[in-house]
């Protein structure tokens, strides 16, 4: 596998270097423009292949880091790796999409290149469209069928009576519900009545959105539903993680000595309170009250958590990582400041994009606040438009932002735990995440990444819709002598000169074809900004919690897991026996 992967990477880099040489020769006028189309297409898809290989590597590392080392299942591991890889692939298609449509436009004359015939453009976009639909279809199958099946398959583990057939049938029984939901979404999308254009939307761009086939309508509705579910994750885990993660690096942690001192003082306080409560009943025959009984239980839980934390601090204080962290503290602060700048760049761009949509949309909420041409300056959009002309720099910037969102969501999951509303299900920890928790975390991460395809059109509307394409308004048909007549492409521009991205068409089908999704998506933009601001204010004002204080998720976990489970786990799994999984070993 390693040899195959190395050979693939070497081949990709060779094709990449040759493509870049051809790319430079074309723009310098050395080569015929007839050769431009295949070169552009190769460059785009080779870049996609390289980042896909990198996403496979990342998915393997992530899974191995977080899965429970004493409680693993090969089916769970493979499902997690494949799901995360496809999840990342969904958004890495976007820069390729933008690059291919931008490559057809001549920025000097404001016209299409000679090679960019309608047939060749349709051929390029068909490949991108196929990639989008294939990846989205596989993600829908993973979310509604594969991941639920694997989850329940693992829940049905029984060392004495369980067989593969029995476990499969039991898992399939529970998965029937999610399959029914998927079929219902497909049928709803197929049966929805197609809308028509009016005087505000009587343009070629809108008319093309209404020409999709029945299969495309069904899949688009499922994609819209997945993005909607993902936005619920987005305004909770991602918004919190984005606001709190920079302060994690900026505020740092206390030294091991300080932590041990604080933990010991708190343990002394807890034991004194416990003795005081017990002292009320030792010399009398009174029955302990419910209030005092509950207080003793709370104190016992806090003592367990602090004792466990004390052991962790003792072990960590002797590791090379702890000693290295002390020396790298200045770099940690710099990373926190960089994250703070990126965070505010994203949020400000989202805010300006949301204002632009409501102020300058062609048809307002009736078509999902679609913009004809952005009127408000957007810093992130400008960065993408500048770097897009130097592909793959925009690809790298885009991937870095996606990775930052991904890490922020993961940080939010680690702090809050995997929850269903207010019910805590699993805690995500390095090397201690149970298989069920890993699968649910995978679902959350997949759903959190999908809305990025929509938010790209909000924070960088020009980039996501037309890239760096321009068109000439001169009556002569070319603007080489009159560059002031060259304008960025917009929805009302001639279709022969401006080619919209496949992503903009897909999102347009969703928001223009169904008013509900367009309106809800827009409202979720403001919900995300509001929750981010609240989380940011709380994270900035609140001092770091005292060392040894468990997170809220860990406190709730203490009610569900025996305090000695983690210590006994190696013994329990030493002979191949499986530790009880889930909440009380039952089904979700």
Q: Provide mean pLDDT across the span 228-251.
A: 88
CB 387 within 8 A of CB 95: no
Structure tokens that stand for 482 in this block? 């009159």
449-507 per-position pLDDT tens digit: 888 888 888 888 888 888 888 888 877 777 777 878 888 888 878 888 888 888 888 88
Q: Specify burial of residue 198 (Cβ count, 10 A radius: 0-12, 13-18, 19+).
A: exposed
Q: pLDDT value at position 528?
A: 92
Q: Provide mean pLDDT across the span 123-136.
A: 89
Where does the pLDDT of residue 187 fall: very low under 50, low under 70, confident under 90, or very high at 90 and above? Answer: confident
Q: pLDDT value at position 579?
A: 35
| pLDDT over 50 (residue 73) | yes
Q: pLDDT value at position 27?
A: 43
Question: What's phi and psi for 435, nearest 5 deg?
Answer: -55, -40
Q: Is 212 helix (H, G, I), strand (E, B) or coil?
A: coil
| pLDDT over 80 (residue 6) | no
Distance CA 349, CA 332 (A): 26
Structure tokens that stand for 327 in this block? 């020396």
Where does the pLDDT of residue 529 fall: very low under 50, low under 70, confident under 90, or very high at 90 and above? Answer: very high
Domain residue ranges of the chain, discontinuous segments joined by +:
2-257+322-573
Where does the pLDDT of residue 197 fall: very low under 50, low under 70, confident under 90, or very high at 90 and above? Answer: low
Q: Is 574 helix (H, G, I), strand (E, B) or coil?
A: coil
Distance CA 102, CA 395 (A): 13
Q: pLDDT value at position 325?
A: 65
CB 353 within 8 A of CB 359: no
Which residues, in sequence order, are CB contacts of 156 under 8 Å at separation 6+?
A: 162, 166, 167, 170, 171
Q: What is the pTM of this model?
A: 0.73
| pLDDT over 80 (residue 101) | yes
Residue with the two structure tokens 């269903």: 420
Q: pLDDT value at position 207?
A: 59
Q: Provide mean pLDDT across the span 544-569.
A: 44
Q: pLDDT value at position 379?
A: 87
Question: What's phi and psi for 149, nearest 5 deg?
Answer: -60, -45
Distance CA 203, CA 283 (A): 88
Residue 228's nearest CA partner among 450, 28, 417 is: 450
Structure tokens that stand for 388 in this block? 């897009």
DSSP string over 401-435: HHHHHHHHHHHHHHHH-EEETTEEEE---TTTB-H
| pLDDT over 90 (residue 530) | yes
- Range with lowest mean pLDDT among 251-255, 302-306, 517-521, 556-560: 556-560
Helix axes 379-388, 393-416, angle to 10 degrees: 140
CB 135 within 8 A of CB 149: no
Distance CA 579, CA 585 (A): 9
């Amino acid at each position: 596998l390693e040899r195959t992967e190395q050979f693939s990477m070497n081949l990709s880099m060779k094709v990449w270097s040759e493509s870049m040489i051809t790319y430079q020769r074309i723009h310098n006028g050395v080569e015929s423009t007839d050769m431009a189309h295949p070169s552009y297409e190769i460059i785009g898809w080779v870049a996609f292949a390289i980042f896909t290989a990198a996403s496979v590597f990342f998915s393997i590392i992530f899974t191995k880091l977080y899965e429970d080392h004493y409680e693993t299942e090969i089916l769970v591991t493979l499902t997690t790796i494949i799901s995360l890889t496809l999840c990342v692939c969904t958004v890495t298609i976007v820069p390729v999409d933008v690059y291919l449509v931008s490559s057809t436009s001549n920025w000097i004359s404001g016209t299409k290149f000679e090679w960019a015939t309608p047939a060749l453009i349709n051929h390029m976009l068909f490949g991108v469209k196929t990639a989008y639909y294939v990846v989205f279809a596989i993600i829908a199958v993973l979310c509604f069928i594969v991941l639920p099946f694997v989850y329940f398959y693992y829940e049905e583990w029984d060392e004495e009576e369980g067989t593969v057939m029995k476990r499969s049938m039991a898992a399939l029984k529970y998965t029937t519900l999610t399959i029914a939901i998927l079929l219902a979404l497909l049928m709803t999308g197929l049966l929805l009545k197609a809308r028509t254009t009016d005087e505000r939307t009587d343009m070629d761009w809108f008319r093309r959105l209404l020409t999709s086939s029945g299969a495309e309508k069904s899949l688009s509705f499922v994609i819209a539903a997945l993005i909607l579910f993902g936005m619920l994750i987005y305004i909770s885990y991602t918004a919190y993680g984005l606001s709190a993660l920079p302060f994690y690096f900026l505020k740092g942690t206390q030294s091991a000595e300080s932590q041990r001192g604080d933990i010991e003082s708190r343990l002394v306080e807890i034991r004194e309170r416990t003795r005081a409560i017990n002292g009320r009943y030792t010399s009398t025959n009174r029955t302990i009250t419910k209030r005092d009984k509950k207080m003793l239980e709370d104190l016992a839980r806090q003592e367990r958590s602090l004792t466990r934390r004390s052991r962790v601090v003792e072990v960590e204080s002797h590791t090379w990582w702890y000693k290295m962290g002390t020396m790298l503290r200045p770099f940690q602060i710099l990373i926190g400041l960089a994250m703070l700048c990126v965070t505010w760049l994203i949020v400000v761009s989202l805010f300006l994009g949301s204002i632009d949509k409501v102020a300058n949309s062609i048809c307002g909420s009736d078509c999902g606040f679609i913009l004809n041409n952005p009127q408000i300056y957007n810093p992130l959009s400008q960065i993408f438009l500048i770097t897009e002309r130097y592909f793959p720099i925009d690809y790298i910037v885009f991937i870095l932002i996606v990775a930052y969102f991904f890490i922020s969501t993961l940080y939010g999951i680690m702090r809050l735990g995997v929850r269903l509303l207010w019910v805590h299900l699993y805690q995500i920890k390095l090397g201690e995440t149970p298989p069920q928790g890993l699968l649910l975390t995978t679902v959350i991460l997949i759903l959190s990444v999908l809305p990025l395809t929509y938010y790209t059109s909000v924070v960088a509307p020009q980039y996501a819709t037309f890239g760096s394409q321009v068109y000439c308004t001169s009556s002569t048909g070319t603007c080489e002598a009159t560059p002031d007549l060259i304008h960025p492409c917009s929805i009302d521009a001639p279709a022969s000169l401006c080619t919209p991205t496949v992503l903009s068409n897909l999102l347009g089908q969703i928001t223009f074809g169904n008013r509900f999704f367009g309106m809800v998506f827009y409202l979720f933009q403001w919900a995300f900004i509001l929750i981010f601001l609240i989380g940011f204010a709380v994270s900035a004002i609140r001092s770091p919690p005292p060392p040894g204080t468990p997170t809220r998720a860990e406190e709730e976990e203490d009610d569900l897991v025996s305090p000695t489970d983690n210590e006994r786990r190696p013994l329990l799994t030493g002979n191949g026996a499986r530790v009880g999984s889930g909440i009380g070993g039952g089904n979700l």
